Copies of this chain bind each other. A is one copy, B any other.
């Protein structure tokens, strides 16, 4: 069994990568350079692939026709807790659809039978392309649309981010080498929705997030 992991370099997809390495005979990773402000996440993706000796492909996507605060040139990233009203501007239209479609094509091309993605229950409220319904139908489109019936697997779809931290901690993942902050500054801001959610996920496990946040420096 060979799997392709859609790897951003953030906490969720990195956890999927280590999970996949335990579960599949062979694993490759695919990342996307789509003009995200937090492009430095790709360095973390590379680091883990080097660390695990995994083949890693980064694809450049032209998202210049999309409007999102997540993209370079877009509005400022909102601060505060993850919720529909303040984080919706970070939605990139059908981003997971596009990335999964590419990963499915890549999987068929290299003879892999599965594509893994790191969606979790916490994402669902604001990102429609993280829901189980989306992923299930995308998976069926993939099975019908490829010769080798590539399956899309979303192993943590019914889990919350704090569950992933627990799983990843047990797998020995060095989370200091993951990047979540959407702002893409020198250090993670600690204030945007994804930073707040990440910090809480470690706290729920009585763990300290090993990454150094900008706000701590200012205090």
Contacts and interface: CB of A to CB of B under 8 A. Distances in A.
Interface of A: 57, 59-62, 65-67, 91-98, 100-102, 104-109, 128-129, 131, 133-134, 137-138, 140-142, 144-147, 150
A101 B103 CA distance: 12
A146 B140 CA distance: 17
Given A128-B146, A134-B145, A104 B94 contact: yes
Contacts of A61: 62
A134 B128 contact: no
Count copies of this chain in the complex. Answer: 2
B134 A141 contact: yes
Given A128-B145, A137-B137, A97 B101 contact: yes
Given A57-B65, A94-B105, 11 more contacts: A59-B62, A59-B65, A61-B62, A93-B108, A93-B109, A93-B146, A94-B104, A98-B101, A133-B144, A134-B144, A138-B145
A105 B93 contact: yes
Given A101-B97, A101-B101, A109 B66 contact: yes
Contacts of A142: 94, 97
A102 B32 CA distance: 14
Given A62-B59, A101-B97, A104-B97, A137 B144 contact: yes
A107 B134 CA distance: 17
A96 B98 CA distance: 11
Contact of A93 (B106, B129, B134, B144): B106
8 tightest A-B contacts by CB?
A94-B105, A129-B145, A93-B108, A137-B141, A93-B105, A137-B140, A134-B145, A101-B101
B137 A108 contact: no
26 contacts: A59-B62, A60-B62, A61-B62, A65-B109, A67-B109, A91-B147, A93-B107, A93-B108, A93-B109, A94-B104, A94-B142, A94-B146, A97-B104, A97-B141, A97-B142, A97-B145, A98-B98, A98-B105, A100-B101, A129-B145, A129-B146, A133-B144, A134-B144, A137-B140, A137-B141, A137-B144
